[in-house]
Structure 1
Amino acid sequence: MPEKTNPTHDAVDTILAQWRRERPDLDASPMGPIGRLKRCTALLEQRLEACFNHYELTMWEFDMLATLRRAGAPYCLSPTALFSTLMVTSGTMTHRLKRLETRELIIRVANPHDARSMLVQLTPAGVVLINQVVEAHVDNERQLLSALSAETLTSLDTQLRALLRSLEQDGAAQA
């Protein structure tokens, strides 16, 4: 039998109610925030991708171009710095670099500090593109968050920062 619809409830409330019904002995409350974070991530990614698609970019392409742009002029990083920042494997990074090179958004240049290695640099076309996309991206994110008050956003950001720091510290301790 489907759960009754309550306008203040979300899909996670339905899941929690089902667990309370099926396993009243189990405190499933941690599923609330984790489930909401997962569902928000999935829904946000869909809307972020829609913005990037307008510029014929994927999310990972945006992330890579934005990482290079944030590095500051001359918008250049080592492949190791890129894959560490983007949390992907070196094999994945190699494939992605080739794709962006084919699109003429990045080039590989000699590392002036180490003749054995190359750096990844935005091309002029890559700089123009990422400058356009990042403006649209920020506007999109602002719109996505517009249902929340400034006070709520500040509180949410503070709480998510605390969670992220905790998870990062736990991850570092386990590594």
Structure 2
Amino acid sequence: MPDPESTDSVDAIVDAWKRERPDLDFAPLQVLSRVWRLSRHLDRARRTSFGTSELDSWEFDVLSALRRAGTPYQLSPKALLEETLVSSGTMTNRIDRLVSRGLVERRTSPNDGRGILVTMTADGLARVDRAIDELVISETQLLSGLSKPDQERLAGLLRKLSRDFG
């Protein structure tokens, strides 16, 4: 049993389940219920960070993929699909919406006149840079209760777990 000073609401939930269903091993809930709760805090923090740049989470996903591609901040729609893990229909809709907001442009590929490249505009670049600045500050605060070695251990464990999901 954990020290009462170091328990949280997940401990109380798991203890209640153990009492009601002693036939089950609730070890997965000890980990994944905390991951789930943390993901909700992270989602709120990210929405706030992106909101300072007037971006939705999905807009940040697309713009950050373009930003990480480096100058001239352009990718094919197929490459964006691979980076953001959405369907082609969803990506087409997202590109259309980003074009209408002036955050990206569609350009003909110089290598293939039929191909299209999605290119970030100066406004898109300014917004994604502002958003990543805010995100790093916010996520640093979220992890402030962990030492650097603890953060590295946690990152390693989560990396190991996430590899199973592809």
**TM-score bracket, shorter-length normalisation:** over 0.9
Structure 1 residue runs of 4+, over 6 Å off?
none
Q: In 2, distance between residues paired with 1:70 and 1:80?
A: 16
Count of residue pairs the alignment pairs up: 163
Q: In 2, distance between residues paired with 1:76 and 1:43?
A: 32
Q: TM-score, normalised by structure 2?
A: 0.92
Deviations 1:39-90 (A, max 9, x none): 1111111111011112211111111111100000000001111011101111
Question: Which residue pairs with 1:93 in the alignment?
Answer: 91
Question: Which residue pairs with 1:165 in the alignment?
Answer: 163
Identity of aligned residues (%): 42
Question: Which residue pairs with 1:60 in the alignment?
Answer: 58
- The amino acid of 1:79's aligned partner reads P
Against the structure 1 CA distance between its residues 7 and 60, is the aligned structure 2 distance closer, same or farther, given a 3 Å change threshold? farther
Following superposition, the deviation at residue 134 of structure 1 comes to: 1.3
Q: Contact conserved, 2:76 with 2:116, CA < 8 A, in 1?
A: yes
- The amino acid of 2:125's aligned partner reads V
Q: In 1, distance between residues paired with 2:75 and 2:40?
A: 30
Q: How does 1:20-35 map to 2 (within 5 A)?
A: 20-35=18-33
Q: In 2, distance between residues paired with 1:102 and 1:7?
A: 52
Deviations 1:12-63 (A, max 9, x none): 2122112101111111211111111111111111111011112211111111
Q: Which has the higher contact order (CA 8 A, sep 6+)?
A: 2
Q: TM-score, normalised by structure 1?
A: 0.88
Question: Which residue pairs with 2:127 in the alignment?
Answer: 129
Gaps of 5+ in 1: 1-5, 169-175
Question: Which residue pairs with 1:119 in the alignment?
Answer: 117
Gaps of 5+ in 2: none
- The amino acid of 1:126's aligned partner reads G
Question: Which residue pairs with 1:141 in the alignment?
Answer: 139
Following superposition, the deviation at residue 7 of structure 1 comes to: 4.2
* Greater shift in the superposed pair: 73-82 or 124-133: 124-133
Q: Contact conserved, 2:52 with 2:131, CA < 8 A, in 1?
A: no
Q: In 1, distance between residues paired with 2:82 and 2:39?
A: 22
- The amino acid of 2:138's aligned partner reads N
